[in-house]
Structure 1
């Protein structure tokens, strides 16, 4: 998967591509689990602030990690 592009040194398109390439629907919910992690929201919607450069990828990921407990 690699590290997400840093918001200070990447473009919106690069961040969007990272999300799309790494969090796309694999069509096998039993194995994947992305839909459960993001409560049925698309990763593009979940990470919209990251894509737009407003918040880091890690800030958003941490929110979802802590809200799952």
Structure 2
């Protein structure tokens, strides 16, 4: 992992950001999702609320989301 990657990744941790910065990170990451589908944006934004509130890191939220799609069935 290069130093540049490590430094930029560190900038998203709760300890390295203010609430306002986390709100901006989520908003910029999601972009204009309201144009993508009707009624789905609220759920996606709510999913990241614990990060904005400083309760869970982005990686933890994303890992939990992906775990819901893992299945042993083929």
TM-score by length of 2: 0.65
**C-alpha offsets along residues 24-64 of structure 1, whole Å, 9 cap, x if unaligned?**
316245xxxxx4xx8x7132x10111011111110000000
Number of residue equivalences = 59
Q: Which structure shows the bigger proportion of residues in helix conformation?
A: 2
1:12-23 correspondence runs (5 A): 12-23=19-30
Q: CA deviation at 1:68?
A: 1.4
- After superposing on structure 2, the runs of 4+ consecutive aligned residues of structure 1 that deviate more than 4 Å are none
Larger Rg over CA atoms: 2
**Gaps in structure 2 of 5+ consecutive residues:** 1-7
Q: 1:42 aligns with which of 28, 41, 44?
A: 44
**Gaps in structure 1 of 5+ consecutive residues:** 30-34
CA RMSD in angstroms comes to 2.4
Structure showing greater relative contact order (alpha-carbon pairs closer than 8 Å, 6 or more residues apart): 1
